[in-house]
Chain A
Amino acid sequence: MQLTNRSKVVTKPEMTWVEKLYLPAILGGLQITIKHLFKKKATVKYPEVKKEFAPVYRGMHVLKRDEQGRENCTACGLCAVSCPAEAITMDAAERQKGEEHLYREEKYAAKYEINMLRCIYCGLCEEACPKDAIYLTDRIVPSEYTRGEFVFGKDMLVERIDDRVDVSKRKKEYSI
Chain B
Amino acid sequence: MSVLVFKAILVVVLFLVSLGIAAYSTYAERKVAAFLQDRIGPDRAGPFGLLQPIADGVKMFLKEEIIPTLSDKFLFILGPSMFMVTTLMVSAVIPWGMPLEIGGEMFALQVADVNIGILYVLGVVSLGVYGIMIGGWASNNKYALLGAIRASSQMISYELAMGMSVVAILLMTNGSLSINHIVEAQGTGKLYGFINVSGMNWNVFYQPVAFLIFLICAFAEANRTPFDLPESESELIGGFHTEYSSMKLGLYLFGEYINMFISSAIISCLFFGGYNFPGIEYLGTILPHNIVSIISVLVLFGKIFFFIFFFMWVRWTIPRFRYDQLMRLGWQILMPIAIVNVLLTALGITLFGN
Verify A36–B37 contact, CB threshold 8 A.
yes
Q: Mark A10-41, 1 if CB is under 8 A from B, else 0.
A: 00000000000001001001101110110111
Q: What does DSSP make chain A's interface, helix, strand, loop or mixed? A: helix
Closest to B38 in A: A42
B317 within 8 A of A: yes
Number of A residues near B (Cβ < 8 Å) is 15
C-alpha gap A45/B212 in the complex (Å): 40
A146 interface hit (Cβ, 8 Å)? no
Partner of A30, one of B32, B39, B314: B314
In the bound complex, do residue B317 and residue A42 qualify as a contact, i.e. CB atoms below 8 Å apart? no
Enumerate chain A residues within 8 angstroms of B314, measured Cβ to Cβ. 30
B24 within 8 A of A: no
Is A68 an interface position by the 8 A CB rule? no
Known contacts: A41-B40, A43-B40, A45-B43. The answer to whether A36 contacts B318 by CB under 8 A is: no
A26 pairs with B318, CB closer than 8 A: yes
Q: Are B38 and A36 in contact (CB under 8 A)?
A: yes
B331: chain A residues at CB < 8 Å are none
Evaluate contact between A29 and B318: CB separation under 8 angstroms.
Answer: yes
B 15-48 binary contact with A (CB < 8 Å = 1; else 0): 0000000000000000010011111100100000
Does any Cβ of A come within 8 Å of B316's Cβ? yes
Q: Which residue of chain A lies nearest to B319 when distances are taken between CB atoms in the complex?
A: A29
Contact A36 to B35, CB < 8 A, known contacts A41-B40, A45-B43: yes
Q: Which residue of chain A is the closest to B310 with respect to CB atoms? A: A30
Q: How far is the CA of A59 from the CA of B277 in the complex (A)?
A: 62
The answer on a CB contact under 8 Å between B36 and A37 is: yes
**B-binding residues in A (CB < 8 A):** 23, 26, 29-30, 32-34, 36-37, 39-43, 45
26 pairs, CB–CB < 8 Å, chain A vs chain B: A26-B317, A26-B318, A29-B317, A29-B318, A30-B313, A30-B314, A33-B36, A33-B313, A33-B316, A34-B313, A36-B35, A36-B37, A36-B38, A37-B32, A37-B35, A37-B36, A39-B38, A40-B38, A41-B35, A41-B39, A41-B40, A42-B38, A42-B39, A43-B38, A43-B40, A45-B40
Spell out B's residues near A (CB within 8 Å): 32, 35-40, 43, 212, 313-314, 316-318
